[in-house]
């Protein structure tokens, strides 16, 4: 892919596009908002499949269990939404080397599916967890670099003091592959950028509770999660993952601002390094919370 085409692919799509979502849906509660937001924007975003991503925290005993529980949570949400979208299990472990993919139904599907697209008509891959499945597909089939656009919620802002973010640190090797391979990449950094997109208890109770089965489910899991964390009655929970989907809908910068930058390379010491003459990527640096929240509320509470 030449640089001119790469830059075109870093722009918000102006027409309906095909989308894959890669999600660690059981990790916390923002993935569920993102899945629902994606599927309720079907007029522009044609969801072709959803992949379950691995994760490892206090909720599970291993990345494999994290992936399995995410697979189950995706299925529960699809049933609630009345959708029959294809769902694929992802990696049971993180990458062991930068040459060896982790074979899974998800990585195999993306590696094969990418052959149906081209730089001029790419497949959009929205990744909102550890990016193992996507990196594995790139290792399996170099055409993934040419025929997809990867939109990733991961890492922290370039001005932040480190890049020690949950999605990135789980599989730094996979992140290095995605940042370094030349695939058109849109990064939504967490702390310092997306951390501004939050929801509070009063907002949930005013705008979500009692509107429909979906909004009640989102309200319940959010309140339960914050109670589990011992947050008390005053908190603001970032809905990180919604912003990755929202980039695809960001016509006229209505939800966020971005700029084209030279892609950094995540390093093993939880920082970024710069490589001379590296390829460009799209970097989100500001979220318009009121505009995005208003659209999210509309989509989540419609019948």
Give 40-88 pLDDT, tens digit per residue: 999 999 999 999 999 999 999 999 999 999 999 999 999 999 999 999 9
Query: First and final CA of the chain: distance in angstroms?
Result: 43
pLDDT of 228: 93
Whole-number Å distance between alpha carbons of 104 and 204: 37
pLDDT of 233: 87
116-126: pLDDT as tens digits: 999 999 999 99
pLDDT of 276: 65
Is the per-residue pLDDT at 277 higher than 70? Answer: no
From the number of C-beta atoms within 10 Å of its C-beta (0-12, 13-18, 19+), residue 172 rates as buried
Which of the four pLDDT bands, split at 50, 70 and 90, describes residue 280? very high
pLDDT of 74: 98
Q: Which helix H or strand E contains 49, and what residues bound it?
A: strand 45-52
CATH numeric code, 3-198+239-284: 3.90.245.10
In the predicted model, what is the mean pLDDT of the chain?
A: 96
Q: What is the mean pLDDT of residues 186-190?
A: 98
> Comparing C-alpha atoms, which of 225, 155, 222, 226 is closest to residue 191?
155
Which of the four pLDDT bands, split at 50, 70 and 90, describes residue 174? very high
For 133, the token pair is: 């499945």
Whole-number Å distance between alpha carbons of 70 and 50: 11
Q: What is the mean pLDDT of residues 129-151?
A: 98
Whole-number Å distance between alpha carbons of 85 and 102: 23
pLDDT of 62: 98
Whole-number Å distance between alpha carbons of 4 and 27: 38
Is the per-residue pLDDT at 4 higher than 80? Answer: yes
DSSP 8-state assignment for residue 150: E
Is the per-residue pLDDT at 278 higher than 90? Answer: no
Which of the four pLDDT bands, split at 50, 70 and 90, describes residue 39? very high
Which of the four pLDDT bands, split at 50, 70 and 90, describes residue 106? very high
Which of the four pLDDT bands, split at 50, 70 and 90, describes residue 263? very high
Place of tokens 């951390």: 195
Q: What percent of the residues of the chain are helix, what percent strand, and what percent coil, each to the nearest 5?
A: 40, 20, 40
Indicate the pairing of strand 185-188 with strand 148-153. Answer: parallel
> Comparing C-alpha atoms, which of 9, 2, 1, 11 is closest to residue 184?
9
Q: What is the mean pLDDT of residues 150-179?
A: 96
> Comparing C-alpha atoms, which of 191, 192, 174, 172 is closest to residue 183?
174
Is the per-residue pLDDT at 31 higher than 90? Answer: yes
Q: What is the mean pLDDT of residues 85-107?
A: 96
Is the per-residue pLDDT at 157 higher than 80? Answer: yes
Which of the four pLDDT bands, split at 50, 70 and 90, describes residue 162? very high
Regarding predicted confidence, which is higher, 20 or 97? Answer: 20
Which of the four pLDDT bands, split at 50, 70 and 90, describes residue 214? very high
pLDDT of 212: 96
Measure Cα distances from 270 to 123, 156, 279, 285 in Å.
Answer: 30, 10, 21, 20
Whole-number Å distance between alpha carbons of 75 and 89: 11
Is the per-residue pLDDT at 238 higher than 80? Answer: yes
């Amino acid at each position: 892919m030449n640089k001119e085409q790469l830059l075109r692919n870093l722009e918000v799509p102006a027409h309906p596009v095909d989308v894959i979502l890669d999600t660690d849906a059981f990790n916390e509660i923002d993935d569920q908002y993102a899945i629902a937001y994606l599927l309720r924007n079907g007029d522009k975003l044609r969801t072709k499949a959803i992949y379950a991503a691995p994760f490892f925290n206090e909720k599970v005993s291993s990345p494999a269990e994290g992936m399995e529980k995410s697979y189950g949570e995706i299925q529960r949400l699809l049933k609630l939404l009345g959708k029959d979208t294809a769902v694929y299990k992802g990696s049971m472990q993180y990458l062991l080397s930068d040459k060896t993919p982790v074979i899974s139904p998800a990585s195999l599907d993306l590696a094969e599916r990418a052959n149906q697209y081209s730089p001029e008509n790419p497949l959009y891959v929205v990744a909102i967890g550890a990016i193992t499945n996507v990196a594995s597909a790139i290792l399996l089939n170099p055409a993934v670099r040419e025929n997809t656009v990867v939109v990733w919620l991961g890492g922290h802002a370039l001005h932040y003091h480190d890049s020690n973010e949950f999605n990135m640190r789980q599989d730094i090797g996979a992140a290095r592959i995605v940042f370094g391979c030349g695939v058109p990449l849109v990064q939504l950094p967490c702390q310092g950028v997306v951390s501004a997109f939050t929801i509070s208890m009063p907002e949930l109770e005013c705008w979500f509770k009692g509107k429909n089965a979906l909004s009640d489910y989102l309200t319940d899991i959010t309140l339960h999660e914050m109670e589990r964390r011992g947050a008390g009655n005053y908190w603001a929970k970032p809905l990180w993952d919604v912003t990755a989907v929202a980039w695809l809908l960001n016509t006229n910068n209505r939800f966020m601002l971005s700029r084209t930058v030279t892609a950094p390379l995540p390093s093993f010491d939880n920082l970024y390094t710069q490589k001379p003459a590296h390829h460009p990527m799209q970097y989100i640096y500001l979220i318009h919370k009121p505009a995005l929240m208003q659209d999210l509320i509309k989509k989540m509470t419609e019948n």
